[in-house]
Chain A
Amino acid sequence: MNTEQSKPLIELSHVTKSFPSMSGNFQALKNVSLKIGKGQLVAVTGKSGSGKSTLLNIIAGIDKPTEGQVAINGIRVDKLSESELATWRGKNIGVVFQFFQLLPTLTVIENIMLPMDFCNRYPKNERRERALVLLEQVNIREQADKLPSALSGGQQQRAAIARALANDPPVIIADEPTGNLDSQTSAAIFELFAALARSEKTVIVVTHEKDFADYFKDVIVIADGAIVNEFVPA
């Protein structure tokens, strides 16, 4: 998967991100360069405020670097406009949040069909079937027509993962996806991510959970905005 020969799916070159603050510019990321290949399951760890989420936001196109380049699947994400980013993100990045962030007035299956609607992916009459397949994949097919509030935390996170997969993006990004779940449920979620990586999805997970280190061959440790471990690039 992450062979020397294969072209990296995600490539960050000398990325710096600064935020203006009362006491001058604060550098959240300092000259970060990294490469992640197709099918890699990568953990990003570090202390609170170290720059993990900023790194994820930059990869997902949620935030733009102050300096440096970000290329995903050969596309210079840092050059896209907000509108282009929205469409690109919908098709290429699946995002999983810590608090699930399912839209409360839509049923589980409708939450999963929504990205297909926004990105106009898959014919209309196939969307429901695809959403059911994804729910099957995350083991909550029977919850399809319930509102998110009727689901447990774990089930909601599974639904959120199914939603992230809706448009079949090559990259899944999860920001502390188990931060709100018990250890048993967390294990199931990590297992799900591992399965996705095995099916050639690139999965990047921000996590504090040391108990699940076994799932990850690749770990990026960030401290004060810089990668401090010996991360093996793609």
Chain B
Amino acid sequence: MEFKFEIEGGNFSKAGSASSEVKKILKQLNVNPKIIKRTVVSLYEAEVNVVAHAFEGNMNVDIDTDKIVVKIEDRGPGIPDIDQAMQEGYSTATPQVREMGFGAGMGLPNIKRNSDKMNITSKVDVGTELEIINYFG
């Protein structure tokens, strides 16, 4: 089963809506609640990253009998140093974004903790591609 959601850069009022749709689908499919919880945390963080840093993006969801594979691609500034971005507490978010309680440098580490596999590739001034895989078994 494949689903595609658009993510609007800068629009915080919609942040989380794609993750919420995926959550509903996983619930309907009776996926183990623990795996739904983990997936929801990682997808929300990925979605917020696009909203906070990129111009626009997509969340492509592929649900199989044994796993969910989600690719989040964005058009944006990219990440120059992924190892640095993966460090807890490191963030390039603007002061306005931080005031809202985002940009604490916990997003990518949260994704890593809540996914079975995580692959991230990025090109500066082009965009970032993040793949999250969670197994149902």
Whether A associates with B in a native complex is no
